Amino acid sequence: MKIRKGDLVKITAGKDKGREGKVERVFSRESRVLVPGVNQYKKHIKPQGEGRPGDIVTLSRPMPMGNVALICPKCKQVTRVGYQVTGEKKVRICRKCMNLI
């Protein structure tokens, strides 16, 4: 998985293209990421009886991982992720600055 929870990403496609945000959840099975404030939709909640009126809340939908690009925390550039194997460990590196990320 190239994108991890807590990563800063730039949205590269869709209605929020160009925006940035922090990944809150990764859905590896669906290859989607949840970025708060991005890919929002309005949910209408029906009234649940006395004292619980209906409401409209704004929620974020997970978006395809292919629609986001990682922003490297070291060089602050939009980058692709590379891997380097050191012994038993596979580490993630930035393709631009080659730092571990």
Query: Is residue 87 helix, strand or coil?
Result: coil
Q: Which of 8, 22, 40, 75 contacts Zn ion by CB under 5 A?
A: 75
State yes or no: residue 11 binds Zn ion (CB under 5 A).
no
State yes or no: residue 8 binds Zn ion (CB under 5 A).
no
State yes or no: residue 9 binds Zn ion (CB under 5 A).
no
Residue 1, CA distances (Å) to 16, 30, 70 in order: 23, 12, 12
Angle at 92 between CA 13 and CA 10, to 5 degrees: 20
Q: Which of 11, 68, 69, 94 contacts Zn ion by CB under 5 A?
A: 94
The residues of the shown chain that bind Zn ion, judged by CB under 5 A, are 72, 74-75, 94, 96-97
